[in-house]
Amino acid sequence: MASSSFFESGVRAEEIEIDEIIVTTDRTDASREPVRVINNGDRAAPFLAADLLRGMPGVAISRSGNRGALTQIRLRGAEANHVLVLIDGVQADDPAVGSGFDFGTLTRAGIRKITLLNGPQSGLRGIDILAGIIHIDTTPSTDNTSVQIGLGTERSIDTSVDIARVNPLGHLGITASRSASEGTNASLTGNENDPFDSRLININGKRTIGNFSFGATTRANLSEVDFDPTPFPAFVPIDGNRRSDNRNVLIGISGQWRGSESWTPTIHLSSSRFNGTQIADGIDIETSLGTRRTVAFSNQFHVGSQQLNLTARHQIETMSRRDASSVFGNPDVDQTTQSSSIAAQYLYRWKKLSTSCALRYDHNSVFKNAATFALSASLVNGSTTWFTRVASGVKNPTFVERFGYTPDTFIGNSDLKPESSVEFQIGAAYSRRLLDLSAVYFKANLSSEIDGFVYDPINMGFTARNVASRSQRSGVEVTIQIRRRSHWLVSSYSLINSVESGHREVRRPRTLGRINYTFQVSKRWGLVAGLTHTGSQIDTDFSTYPGTRRRLEPYRLLNMGAMYEASPYLHLQLFVENLFNTKSQDVFGYRNPGTSIQGGIRASL
């Protein structure tokens, strides 16, 4: 048994280098800011991957009630669709939905590590990254053949088969899994539970032949999630027969040549397809299809203490939606957008000082062309590293914000303008023996913010509009990590102020925190405990006009688990989430799950 499989860290000074802009996220520039990494392994842990991130620096989770339901992640007080989520280097959000990546049915199956990088990254990685990047990596590091079976409350089942082969010339990892649960009742009234069922197959491979290396990833996910309708006039969930069926496929192919010490070219192609169907009382009421195709070519140059990366990229996104016609009109829509970009990133090292500059230009087929930048610097002074960065970002309006249509509920606005942001941050990281500390201060301004919940009295429904005033975000993130022999303590705390026109932004907790403790009792026994804190936040009650701002109470969740290694080939786990059955809400009107217990067994063959 590994002593711990949950790890958060900052990048060490000697690890910093320019990254391949198009593929990975572990290292990006010279700022040497903390990069948080979660390694997923043998440790007892939450059922869903999103809960691994709960309470990490700047991370706020908004779950619409039961497990499996829409789950969004907001970073540093920004909106959910300001976060780029990559799975093995492939952008994972559905362009036909537009609300950011849905973590609702993402389990831990096949995930080796999750990397979190806060702050705008448009200058490095393209449009739509105003708040940060979450990179989910399924690359295997060791040989493995295992079967895992987990059973728990709400008749939950979590099964997976994992096969991995690794050698100096490459790797191949295959994961097949199924996760299902009868769920809980998301509504504050009634007693109907909302089940979900998610099935996954993931393949990740790479092969090196001489100076060439080739990689390919494929991920197919089928999910069925029950949810409650939110009818007029209260617009809060009530028991009802609604279901969302989704079939998503991500494909990535890459090639790289390493025949020169000073030049490394890389090409990366990706294709994604997202099919969604909304079902009410057994009848299909809405279908959507989103696709994204991307090709990127990167050239990495190394000359002494200098590095230069030049990248060109082209992306095509499509959205198709079919709804039942009504007296309000025909909601069917087909749209396509294209963008082409060129980016340059330069890094220079001089003794203990590192500086970098990134510039990017995006040509859009629909929206105004955009130029973004990132400037960073760092200085190593003994055990302390000082770092700073200023960066800009741009977020284009989504298909739903422009053309979405739900009778009596939402009407899109095709005249929306892109959002833009500039963020400054400064901080320090200290590492010595058993102790790691980091502290970061950030401040950001968002212009042309899109409010997707503006009531239009003429059309008697909600719409999206650009806000005239600026949205301001600022905060502090602190992380402490202590490891001594068989004890490992990791804690973090975030204080975030996100306001627009003097009012707090909705679904942005002011305080976030976590404490994780791992104790290796003996060679075979291990214990884990985690306490997460979500501060008070504001949400909108749309049962009144105009909508009434409601305060959601702060809450703390205590999780505990145990691991036992019966033999080198057999591992047992027990994990309890929300031990004290704390009642909480992340979204107004939606009840979060109570206590859940899951036991599991993993057999290595």
**CATH (domain of 53):** 2.40.170.20
* Contacts with 209 (C-beta within 8 Å, 6 or more apart), sequence order: 169
The enclosing H or E element of 51 equals helix 50-53
What's the length of the chain?
Answer: 605
Contact 488, 3 (CB under 8 A): yes
Q: How buried is 368 (Cβ within 10 angstroms: 0-12 exposed, 13-18 middle, 19+ buried)?
A: exposed
pLDDT in tens, 499-542: 998 999 999 999 999 999 999 999 999 999 999 999 999 999 98
Asked if residue 2 belongs to a domain, the reply is no
Give the pLDDT confidence score for residue 47 in this predicted structure. Answer: 81
User: Are 61 and 54 within 8 A, CB to CB?
Assistant: yes
- Do 266 and 300 meet the contact criterion of CB atoms below 8 Å apart? yes
**pLDDT of residue 21 exceeding 80:** no
- What integer pLDDT is reported at residue 11 of this predicted model? 37
Among 35-39, 482-486, 520-524, 535-539, the range scoring the smallest mean pLDDT is 35-39
pLDDT: which is higher, 15 or 393? 393
User: Can you tell me the distance from the alpha carbon of 251 to that of 259, in angstroms, rounded to the nearest whole number?
Assistant: 27
Q: How many CA atoms lie within 13 A of 28 on its CB side?
A: 32
* Model confidence band, residue 328 (pLDDT cutoffs 50, 70, 90): low
- The pLDDT assigned to 236 comes to 92
Question: What is the count of structural domains for the chain?
Answer: 1
Residue 399: in which H helix or E strand, if any? helix 399-403
pLDDT at 110: 92
The pTM (predicted TM-score) of the whole model is: 0.93
Q: Is 286 domain-assigned? A: yes
Q: What average pLDDT does the segment 117-134 reach?
A: 85
Q: Torsion-angle region of residue 25: left (phi > 0), alpha (psi -120 to 50) or beta?
A: alpha
Of 199-213, 342-356, 413-427, 457-471, give the lowest mean pLDDT range: 457-471
- What pLDDT, on a 0 to 100 scale, did the predictor assign at position 19? 35
**pLDDT tens-digit map of 547-581:** 899 999 999 999 999 999 999 999 999 999 999 99
**What region does 146 belong to: left with phi over 0, alpha with psi -120 to 50, or beta?**
beta
Instruction: Evaluate the omega torsion of the peptide bond into residue 568 and state whether it is cis, within 30 degrees of 0.
Output: no
552: Cα separation from own chain's centroid: 23
Identify residue 267 by its one-letter amino acid code: I
Three-state DSSP state, 15: helix
DSSP SS3 for 101: coil
Q: What is the pLDDT of residues 79-105, one digit of tens each?
A: 999 999 999 999 999 998 877 899 999
At 152, which amino acid appears?
G
State the DSSP code for 327: T
pLDDT tens-digit series, residues 339-367: 999 999 999 999 999 999 999 999 999 99
Residue-level pLDDT at 172: 98
> Is 80:99 a contact under the CB 8 Å cutoff?
yes
Which has the closest alpha carbon to 478: 457, 503, 495?
495
Measured distance CA(208)–CA(458) in Å, rounded: 62
Question: Does some domain include residue 6?
Answer: no
The number of angstroms, rounded, from the C-alpha of 93 to the middle of its chain's C-alpha atoms is 9
Within a domain: 7? no
Query: 376 in a domain, yes or no?
Result: yes
Q: Cα separations (Å) of 181 from 48, 153, 358, 468?
A: 12, 8, 46, 44
CB of 244 closer than 8 Å to CB of 228: no
Asked if residue 1 is part of any domain, the answer here is no
Phi-psi sector, 154: left (phi>0), alpha (psi -120 to 50), beta: left
CA distance 106 to 63: 13
Kindly give, in sequence order, each residue whose CB lies less than 8 Å from that of residue 502, ignoring residues fewer than 6 positions away: none
- Tell me the CA end-to-end span of the chain in Å, nearest whole number: 15
- Tens of pLDDT, residue by residue over 271-298, are 999 999 999 999 998 899 999 999 999 9
Q: Is 514 exposed, middle or buried (0-12, 13-18, 19+ CB in 10 A)?
A: buried
Strands (E), 365-470: 370-381, 384-395, 405-406, 410-411, 419-432, 435-447, 450-456, 461-466
The pairing of beta strand 306-323 with beta strand 596-604: unpaired
- Residue 187 confidence (pLDDT) above 50: yes
Q: Is residue 4 part of a domain?
A: no
Q: Label residue 501 exposed, middle or buried (CB < 10 Å: 0-12, 13-18, 19+).
A: exposed
Q: Structural domain of residue 518, as residue ranges?
A: 13-181+188-305+312-604
Q: Classify residue 340: in a domain, yes or no.
A: yes
